Amino acid sequence: MSATHAGRVRPGDHLCLPFASEAEQREVVSAFIADGLRRGERVLYFSDRTNPDALDAWLDPRGVDGALAIARGQLEVRAADGHDGFDPAEVIGGIRNAVRDARAAGFQGLRLTGEMSWALRGVPGATKLHEYESGVSSTVVDSGDLAAVCQYDERLFERADLTGLVSVHHGVVCIDPLHDDRQLRIVPTYAPRGLRIAGVVDDATAAPLADALQQAAAWPTGEPLLVLDLAELTFIDVAGIRSLVRFAESIAPERRVQVRHMPTSMRKVLHIARWTLADADESP
């Protein structure tokens, strides 16, 4: 199944976000919302487990004033399920009305995202999720002005059920890379928390690597282990290795950096320079 970066979602996309941590949910969803607000679209958020007040804090690091967007009617937070049960046809009709209302209000389109965990609480009609997701897919295609991301917590849904629900979507949505050009690609990971570094680190890409490491160092300390996955790293010069060592030395004492799939050439440089990455693995 194809994957779309959160910052590249466009009208006509009906995507699934299967997530396994609050950090992944927050970063992907906030990128999706922030991009829509900047593009002049209205955003509807159907909240179940997330406090609606948290959305403003989610958007702040992205330079977006969530409270102002709510006050202007561009961002709206609604409860994810009703007390009278779940009727897919009724909900789909409401989405179509919301698309029409967004157009009438002068917005460029509508973005919809919702937490699907409500379906696990025995709400009458919740067994009709596949019918609902199929209806959303049809509505997204027909309207031309709608993009939807459905959030499924992998820790709550049975694997077989989740696989079937994901397949109803056009694809999955994932976090935007911190850097991506023809030489170097740096992507946040969540299981484990860290960075996947692929490509070449040299004079031309040393600055993006340093920026990505600085962002990782500023992540909340709820997960003490940060993993640098170098499985797809094809070359790294001495300056790049020095940046990794300095990063490992600079993070808070209660955190650790683990390097996985370290290239043999990098091990040799570390040995010659007498630099250490105490939590480097033994993978080739």
Euclidean distance between CA atoms 216 and 247, whole angstroms: 9
Residues 252 and 203 in one domain: yes
Residues 160 and 235 in one domain: no
Q: Please check the confidence at residue 200 and state whether its pLDDT lies above 50.
A: yes
* Lowest model confidence (mean pLDDT) among 38-42, 94-98, 223-227: 223-227
Residue type, 271: H
Provide the pLDDT for residue 283. 42
Q: Please check the confidence at residue 192 and state whether its pLDDT lies above 90.
A: no
Provide the pLDDT for residue 165. 94
Provide the pLDDT for residue 267. 87
For 119, the 3-state DSSP assignment is helix
Of the residues 174, 196, 224, the one at which a domain ends: 174
Residues 154 and 202 in one domain: no
Q: What is the CATH number of the domain that holds 233?
A: 3.30.750.24
Q: What is the CATH number of the domain that holds 170?
A: 3.40.50.300
Q: Please check the confidence at residue 91 and state whether its pLDDT lies above 80.
A: yes
Residues 146 and 226 in one domain: no
Provide the pLDDT for residue 168. 94
* Count of residues making up the chain: 284
Which secondary-structure segment (H or E) carries 174?
Answer: strand 171-174
Residue 199 lies in a domain: yes
pLDDT tens digit sequence for 16-48: 999 999 999 999 999 999 999 999 999 999 999
Nearest to 41 by CA among 97, 105, 133, 92: 105
For the segment 58-68, the average pLDDT, to the nearest whole number, is 94
pLDDT tens digit sequence for 124-170: 888 899 999 999 999 999 988 999 999 999 999 999 999 999 999 99
Residue 281 lies in a domain: no
Strand order of the β-sheet with 110-115 is 3-5, 171-174, 14-19, 146-153, 110-115, 42-47, 75-79
* Lowest model confidence (mean pLDDT) among 78-92, 151-165, 260-274: 78-92
Q: Please check the confidence at residue 174 and state whether its pLDDT lies above 80.
A: yes
Euclidean distance between CA atoms 40 and 174, whole angstroms: 22
Residue 226 lies in a domain: yes
Mean pLDDT of the chain: 91
Residues 10 and 105 in one domain: yes
CA 240 to chain centre: 27
Instruction: Give the domain range for residue 234.
Output: 179-273
For 117, phi and psi rounded to 5 degrees? -65, -20
Euclidean distance between CA atoms 277 and 279, whole angstroms: 6
For the segment 192-209, the average pLDDT, to the nearest whole number, is 95
Q: Please check the confidence at residue 284 and state whether its pLDDT lies above 70.
A: no
How would you label 179-198 residue by residue, b for 16+ Cβ within 10 Å and e otherwise?
beeebbbbbbebeebbbbbb
Helices 238-250 & 264-273 angle (0-180, nearest 10) = 70
Euclidean distance between CA atoms 255 and 110, whole angstroms: 41
Q: Please check the confidence at residue 282 and state whether its pLDDT lies above 50.
A: no
The residue written with tokens 């300056």 in the block is: 239
Residues 106 and 205 in one domain: no
Better pLDDT: 37 or 245? 37
And the tokens for 45? 């958020």
Residues 96 and 17 in one domain: yes
Nearest to 88 by CA among 128, 122, 124, 59: 128
Euclidean distance between CA atoms 193 and 152, whole angstroms: 19
pLDDT tens digit sequence for 113-137: 999 999 998 888 888 999 999 999 9
Residues 9 and 86 in one domain: yes
Cβ contacts of residue 131 below 8 Å, gap of 6+?
A: 88
Beta bridge partners of 201: 236
Which secondary-structure segment (H or E) carries 226?
Answer: strand 225-229
Model confidence, pTM:
0.86
CA 83 to chain centre: 30
